[in-house]
Structure 1
């Protein structure tokens, strides 16, 4: 059938009662389901919850999206999509398409009537529930919402409904299969966020130093309205967002009308309605599946050979699945030449990144342009520096230079590291306002070499230990010294004891030396509770390392050491086993320990030496089992570089 010419005079009525009746019979149930669902999610749910005093006490005023949110969002994310699929189902069935397009109604008028009917179906249930909320408002025991809140809920819900509906109609123009229309709809809504996440995960394998976590956490909801809606409970929708959704819906509508006029009736039941787009579908689908495969094997194996295997294997599967969908047959394996061409193109593009032809991995800003530098093992405080004040950054030139030199060394290390590494994040805030961030997995020996001078600076210690930034302890409410074992703990509430202990602790932290081996050995934790603002308390936690001898001496002098942690008086004996098979500490079972040959230590002096150096190294040279008089056995370890004197 040729739609480019009109073979007979066509009536141009915008409204046809027969078509309207047929539409209502086919999809009117959507309005009923939506109304009943929202009735349970909001009015009925609100009346039920008003009998719960605890709910009334904790529910925040105006958060209508928070009430019955599971039902609300489930309906919002499914019914507009189903409505679009069933409403334009006639396009996807050959007989229906032939019949309805043979009627004396212009395509534009036919399309518009379907759209207007859909708008009524989507609007009426939401409007009726909004009316119910207005009527209920004076009947509620407390003020849960205002008229403004109802208006925001109404416009936000309706705008998202219209956007999802129009998006589903739009993708429906590209396919002749209802099932694929639904799949394409959700792909469209999630595509921006999904492809962004996949690209970030894969770029880190080819761009040395690429801080993928920084970009992954950079407000993905802003590029995906579908995901943004899930945050309306905590971050209320803004008027500008509603305008954007309406504009997007209008764009989808205009494009859909244009495509609808171009679409051939014979496209019904075809996977892709427009032949030139079949290649786009094939290679686009292949590319996305390839990224999933690369990300999966990359995360699981952390080796470039497995990553390449993931790309080839997944792209092969993706390519032939796409061909099967298009051809509607399994006999598609003769199309292998096009796949080879695709792999060749991807290989060339990959080489551009692998050889860093864009200079990303070798770029470092001039030292004089840096205002402050960030150094840490996590991206969080680089992104959220306001939450930690300016204490996650370094301003002293010596420290900035140390970080800069460390970065230079890391840029030379191109090999993908997977074992015995430390995650390092280096960031710069430049004087011109720009930010640069890099992320690396660094071998421990390299890390320790450059980390040492940074660690010894007072600026680093003040950044790392918030307690060093407190000069006046009058707001400290309590100090709790907890042991890892035996449930022992000491709580300091006396003002004189608190100030005395914290002065000792600060001195210990300032004097602390760089000793990575000792850091893995701790008695427990020191938790300081202080009043940040009136009525608002916060806690800061410091590891109670076994190297903190000043802390032990203070507790000993006050007669509190026995209460704070396990001592030699709590131990009956210690068994030391040589870990010849290099098993991980947690892999040692009670039966293995009992059968293994080892040294049994009962001398108190030697037991004390064992307790001081025992730690939690993963694959240590010795396994040390401390048997307590209470019947508890604690499994720890020694390394050959850190053992009791009597084992030398």
Structure 2
């Protein structure tokens, strides 16, 4: 009995309930309004798709996320608020109660105040769910237990995290701010550091990091957990449990070590002050570098300026916060900043001079098992569909490696072209090595400059069959194929192919055209004739969701054009020369292309010389190579359609005929 009494104090728990019981009441009322009442509100709507709500987290999710990441933090702050006040901390610790006993008693109080409302809400929600016919068959008792477990775990983790942070600082306001800063710090740090490395290291890629970022923040992970019957994996739940236990333990350790007179100090432990100061400095520095890299088009003068200003602001603010005064211009202020600057400059020079041989590193042929070359988002999509995107063709591997070797040799040229608007290819290269590791690099390659090395890679079957559109065409559950013409006034002219025989024929000719593309066709910026939307058959539990994929009908797809013509679809499937009344051509001086211009029409308006094109041969050339998406061209065009609509775009210089150039002189 004596050991039990020393473990916690009933009097402390009762006092917490009297003083902070309103937290539990607020939490309960909020949960009741959010979940059971939310279910009743949804069911009362005139039109509702019950299958949209796959789990209880999808009922008023925005309100739920606020509750689970605000109420536990507030509870941790209020229950231990006495340690942040000089008068109350002395009074409480003058009692004959050990710190361990006080800590455990307050933790028990907080857990009871937070968990009881969850259980009461779950009981009421169970009965409400069973009274609504639409939900009773979808939201099962196992879903409710899953909700109880996840919400209880999140609540306990945020409560323990708030408590642990509270012992680091001596101010309640700082405790609340630090709790949320540290909650997002891992994802913020990884994002900013990898972004900076992407322009510091040639070939560095953030692929695979992007998809894992949400797991670094419980907040963002919860936002992404609304979909699916099992929002969290078993591994995630185990990690969250370990973190919760760790925060409770570290909170107890910090409480025992903390000096009582540290109340009102921003950082209560002296050894944490340098970590805080230089951590703030580093975060502010990379934020400044990131900002000026984006606004200054990766101009190194601006990037260095951003690093310096960011570091100076962060260091100054951190010093003011720690000293709680603006009078910080002392010797240690300058020496500390100089030491930090020297260390950072050394690290930056080490990265830029590639001391670790990251940029020039290239695996040998005998080390490579398989390779992928293409777009990183295409690769991620294939992996999500359980498609292995790698090729083990030795000739293809050699071609990709030859291209990669040339990229390394042309590093300076590629970096000099990174801000230009010339047509580029995303060169995402991933080698799967024989030792099981992966070697990944990413580049933006000027298409014309690297055409010799890109041709054997991008015209090979190993590259084309790993395009997502090729994979989608192999599916056997195609329901129909709709063709949406590109151009003004033609969005309603939809051609639908639903006959099974025609779908199979059209799929084959489309596949044939994709496989036969030259590199010029693949990288061409020309606006497609139309978009081909492929709709797939839906399973019963997805009957309300669109399942489809869109493929460009490129102007180089001659077999598709021929098939549509033979089946009587071609006339309404695209805008071609027969739909054009005339075209007005103009020359645009690149110096007149302001940064705030975004549309071809705005560029066209700056043209000085104009010519009206009416001959069929020139109009055919214009519509064939017409593009809406480029801002690096000299010749801009306004197509005047027979239906009165106007269509603005541009033409690459190499497709301008002598006749058209002569007319616009």
TM-score > 0.5 by shorter chain: yes
- Match of 2:137, SS state, is coil
1:324-368: CA deviation from partner (whole Å, max 9, x where unpaired)? 111111111331221111111111122222222222222222212
Counterpart contact for 1:583–1:619, Cα < 8 Å: no
1:544 Cα offset (Å): 3.0
The equivalences for 1:618-633 within 5 A come to: 618-633=631-646
* 2:109 paired with 1:117: yes
Query: Which residue does 1:431 correspond to in 2?
Result: 434
- 1:411-452 CA-to-partner distances (Å, cap 9, x unmatched) read 234444332343321001223332221111223334333211
Find 1:175's aligned residue among 161, 169, 177.
169
For residue 412 of structure 1, the aligned residue among 373, 393, 409 is: 409
How has the CA–CA distance of structure 1 residues 346 and 592 changed in structure 2, closer, same or farther, with 3 Å as cutoff?
closer
Candidates 241, 244, 249, aligned match of 1:249:
244
State which of 29, 32, 36 in structure 2 corresponds to 1:39: 32
For the pair 1:514 / 2:519, whether they are aligned, the reply is: yes
The reply on whether 1:397 has 2:394 as its aligned counterpart is yes
Give 1:267 shift.
0.6
Match of 1:266 among 261, 264, 268: 261
Q: Does 1:299 align with 2:291?
A: no
Change (3 A) 1:109 1:43: same
Instruction: Answer yes or no: is the 8 Å Cα contact 1:455–1:514 preserved in 2.
Output: yes
Match of 2:83 among 91, 96, 99: 91
Cα 1:212–1:267 shift into 2, 3 Å: same
Find the aligned partners of 2:479 and 2:52 in 1 and give their Cα distance: 32
Q: State the distance in 2 between where 1:166 and 1:573 align.
A: 71
Tell me what 1:377 maps to.
375
CA contact (8 A) 2:201 2:359 kept: yes
Q: Tell me the distance in 2 between the aligned counterparts of 1:388 and 1:18.
A: 58
Task: Specify the structure having the higher radius of gyration (Cα).
Answer: 1
Asked if residue 330 in structure 1 is aligned to residue 326 in structure 2, the reply is: yes
SS of the residue corresponding to residue 653 of structure 2 reads coil
- Give the CA RMSD over aligned residues: 3.3
**Matched residue SS, 2:639:** strand
Question: 2: distance between equivalents of 1:517 and 1:243?
Answer: 47
CA distance in 1, matches of 2:437, 2:607: 62
Match of 2:121 in 1: 129
Q: Which of 91, 97, 101 is the aligned partner of 2:93? A: 101
The corresponding residue for 2:223 is 230
Residues 331/383 of structure 1: CA separation in 2 closer, same or farther (3 Å cut): farther
Deviates more, 1:276-285 or 1:296-305: 296-305
Contact between 2:281 and 2:314, CA under 8 Å: does it hold in 1?
yes
Distance (Å, rounded) in 2 between the aligned partners of 1:473 and 1:16: 68
Q: 1:319 aligns with which of 315, 318, 331?
A: 315
Q: Structure 2: where are the runs of 5+ without partners?
A: none
Distance 2:614 2:257 in 1: 90
Match of 1:71 in 2: 63
Please identify, of 138-147 and 329-338, the stretch whose mean Cα deviation from structure 2 is larger. Answer: 138-147
Post-superposition offset of 1:372: 1.9
Deviations 1:37-89 (A, max 9, x none): 0111112222333334754632445x122222222221110111111111111
- Counterpart for residue 655 of structure 2: 642
The residue number in structure 2 matching 1:387 is: 385
Asked whether the equivalents of residues 592 and 606 of structure 2 are also in contact (C-alpha less than 8 Å), the reply is no
**In the aligned structure 2, how far is the partner of 1:244 from the partner of 1:471?**
40
> Could you tell me how far 1:180 is from its partner in structure 2?
0.8
Going from structure 1 to structure 2, the CA distance change for 1:169 and 1:517 (only over 3 Å counts) comes to closer
SS in 2 for 1:433: coil
- Secondary structure of 1:572's match? strand
Residues 183-218 of structure 1: per-residue CA shift (max 9 Å, x gap): 22123322322222222222223332111132222x
Give the superposition deviation at 1:294: 1.9
Q: Is the contact made by 2:473 and 2:511 (CA closer than 8 Å) also made in structure 1?
A: no
1:608 to 613, 616, 620: 620
Q: Contact 2:370/2:392 (CA < 8 Å) preserved in 1?
A: yes
- TM-score, normalised with respect to structure 2: 0.86
Once residues 474 and 233 of structure 1 are traced to their aligned partners in structure 2, the CA distance between those partners, rounded to angstroms, is: 28
What secondary structure sits across from 1:641 in the alignment? helix
Report matched runs for 1:491-506 at 5 Å. Answer: 491-493=496-498, 504-506=509-511
Distance 1:24 1:208, change over 3 A: same
In 1, the alpha carbon distance for the partners of 2:307 and 2:475 equals 58
Task: Tell me the CA shift for residue 22 of structure 1.
Answer: 4.0
Could you say which residue in structure 2 is the equivalent of 1:348? 346
- Paired residue total: 635
- 1:322 CA displacement: 0.4
Question: What residue ranges of structure 1 are gaps of 5+ in the alignment?
Answer: 1-10
Report if aligned partners of 2:532, 2:551 keep a CA contact under 8 Å in 1. yes
